A = this chain, B = another copy of it.
Amino acid sequence: MKFEAVTIKDIAKALGISTSTVSRALRDSYEISPETKQLVLECAEKLNYRPNPIALSLKEKRSRSIGVLVCEIANSFFSQVINGIESVAYDKGYNVIITQSNESFEREIMNLHSLSSRSVDGLLVSLSTETNDLSHLEMLHKKGLPIVLFDRVTDEIETHKVVVDNFKGAYEATEHLIQKGYKRIAAIANSEFLSITNERLAGYKEALNAYGIKYNKSYVKHCFYGGMVFSEIEDAVNKLFTLKQRPDAILATSDKLSSGCLKTLLRRGIAIPQEIALAGFSNSDLAELLNPSLTVVRQPAMEMGRAATELLLQLIENKRPVVQFEKRILTPELIIGHSTIL
């Protein structure tokens, strides 16, 4: 059951003029007499005319909507990014179409296809943890679809990128742990496919190195599904606990992994930070309210969403092809809680 919308045709008929006159009057064209404009405007108002954006899209070959792909909407980091995206898009008159991969490569491909075939004007993408092959994105990119990558990016695609200084974030968190006297620092990370995994682990290793602590491979655990399966995190933590040289601290390198670690430790009744300290990347508003309050690397998530959207709209609205791409690097913030200090 649909409601019949008023079209310029209706206005034209009502006024006994042509549709093009109506169209021009509505767009306030210089070639229409003030009287006619007045008439048309009044009539449009009276009939409650609303331009049909679909007809416009068909004509202009643009939909004024942008597609977003994140791994999970219900994740504090990503929901904050989306918040930023929505706010900028709204201001510029764009719609935001959101999809989630649930960290599945297959789903990522399907979403990307669906979005592009629904003719979004551009794409804002954060890769899934399973993603290793980028041909699907590469194809869309080559076709000329504007794409901006954020958070989980890749060097294989030349376009604007917005990330946080992951190296710095992990370095500072690790340094903090070291300075607080922890020596056997473990790390729990996503799959090795992800840029954030490698950058964060690099920061972690460099901090160890800077303080003369030997890097121990068995202290690093990967969660291939990014913690979408809770048992993955549990297993990782449990494995760390079976090591003869048990770690005295853990650095969790994502939101989901941080909360998963904390949950596992609390459920096992392990004292934090007495038995083991915990620091993690997290954007939850509740970090400071946790038990114990969590030492976190916090990312300017909303800012990331805003920046990515601005860059994308710039790309979309640029007449000439952009050749110079920008990688915007935002600064994370280390917030110290009681999970690393008594």
Contact = CB atoms under 8 A, between A and B. Distances in A.
Interface of A: 1-3, 5, 50-55, 57-58, 61-63, 65, 72-76, 79-80, 82-83, 86, 90, 95-100, 111, 114, 116-119, 143-146, 259, 262-263, 266, 284-286, 288-293, 302, 318-322
Contacts of A90: 99, 111, 114
Contacts of A293: 291
A108 to B, nearest CB: 12
Contacts of A290: 286, 289-291
Contacts of A321: 1
Given A1-B319, A3-B143, A75-B79, 15 more contacts: A1-B318, A1-B320, A3-B145, A50-B116, A53-B117, A65-B97, A74-B79, A90-B99, A96-B97, A96-B98, A262-B289, A263-B288, A266-B288, A286-B290, A289-B290
Contacts of A97: 65, 95-97
Given A83-B73, A286-B290, A288-B263, A118 B95 contact: yes
B74 A74 contact: no
A51 B95 contact: no
A72 B302 CA distance: 13
Given A98-B98, A291-B292, A2 B58 contact: no
